[in-house]
Amino acid sequence: MKSLGRGKPKDKIGSGRSVVRRNERHFKRGSLMFIEGELSTEMFIIRSGKVRVLKQEGENAVELAILGPGSVLGELSLLDHQPRGATAQVIEECTATVVDEALLESTLAAVPPWLANIIKVVVKRLRDTMSRTDRDIVEKSVGGALRILLLLAKTDGVREGDETRLPLKRAKEAIHATVGIGDVETENVFLHLILKDMLYIRKSDAGSEYLVLKDLAVLQAYMNYLRAKQRGVKVVGEDFDDVTMDVVHYILVSGQKNGRRIKDKVVRIGVQQVELEMNRDGKALAVPPEAIDALAEAKAIVKENAKVQSSHGSHARDVLVYNEDTLRKVETLRQWLPTFKEDVRF
What CATH number has the domain bearing residue 285? 1.10.10.10
Q: Is 273 in the same domain as 327?
A: yes
In a domain, 89, yes or no: yes
Q: Which of 2-6, 21-25, 28-32, 107-111 has the highest mean pLDDT?
A: 28-32
pLDDT band per the 50, 70, 90 thresholds, residue 13: very low
pLDDT digits (tens, 9 = 90+) for 242-283: 999 999 999 999 999 999 998 888 999 999 999 999 998 888
In a domain, 119, yes or no: no
In a domain, 28, yes or no: yes
Q: Give one word for 67, left, alpha or beta, with left for phi > 0 and alpha for psi -120 to 50.
A: beta
Residue 52: CATH number of its domain: 2.60.120.10
- Strand pairing class (301-310; 163-167): unpaired
Whether residue 34 has pLDDT greater than 60: yes
Domain boundary among 67, 83, 110: 110
Domain tally for the chain?
Answer: 3
Q: Is 191 in the same domain as 250?
A: no
In a domain, 255, yes or no: yes
Q: In 238-270, which positions are buried (b, 16+ CB within 10 angstroms) versus exposed (e)? A: bebeeebbbbbbbbbbbbeeebeeeeeebbbbb
294 lies in which domain range? 242-335
Q: Is 223 in the same domain as 147?
A: yes
The closest of 175, 173, 155 to 165, measured between CA atoms, is 155
Q: What is the pLDDT of residue 83?
A: 83
In a domain, 340, yes or no: no
In a domain, 2, yes or no: no
Element (H, E) at 305: strand 301-310
pTM of this structure: 0.60
**130 vs 169: which has the higher pLDDT:** 169
Helix (H, G, I), strand (E, B) or coil at 156: coil
